[in-house]
Amino acid sequence: MKSFIVFGLLAVLVFGAEEKKKDDAAAAAPADEDKQKTYKRLIPADVLRDFPGMCFASTKCATVEPGKTWDLTPFCGRSTCVVSEDQPPRLLELVEDCGPLPLANPKCKLDEEKTNKTAPFPNCCPAFKCEDGAKLEYPEIPTVAPVPADAAETTTTTAKTS
């Protein structure tokens, strides 16, 4: 059982690393300079006890069937309800968003003409314009493997009575 969980977590990390490599390769290509960088990550889905086979989309206050996508308005992003390959299967949320903002660079400014915060994802991501020779740098996103449910600590609190 634990080997399936470990395998699943490794698959998530590899998937994330591959997506980052693709994004880095796309960002390095001069022809794709105007293309928006997006980030993907798998997180445990929120699930309501009365709807155990569905993801809960908190930004919509609605349940979503596996395989369906919803936007994250008022945030810039979208999520997809995904069933894991673990045994037993779990519901996951594939979150796609703009990722972190670039590090401050006085030679790069937010491009007000190309930035549309109300556009559908990924067109709502901020666009930047840099002076010739300047390049945006993004902070490194640490990848942390989630703790398996059976290894999570439990905390008990007791109410104090007078």
What is the DSSP-derived secondary structure letter of residue 32?
G
What is the DSSP-derived secondary structure letter of residue 58?
T
pLDDT of residue 17: 43
Question: Which residues, 6+ apart, have CB-to-CB distance to 131 below 8 Å?
Answer: 107, 108
Angstrom distance (rounded) from CA 8 to CA 5: 5
In this prediction the pTM is: 0.64
Note the pLDDT tens digit of each residue in 34-91: 456 789 999 999 999 999 999 999 999 999 999 999 999 999 999 999 999 989 999 9
What is the CB neighbour count within 10 angstroms for residue 9?
Answer: 16
* Phi, psi for residue 120 in degrees, rounded to 5: -65, 155
Higher per-residue pLDDT: 108 or 140: 108
Note the pLDDT tens digit of each residue in 12-40: 443 444 444 444 444 433 334 445 678 99
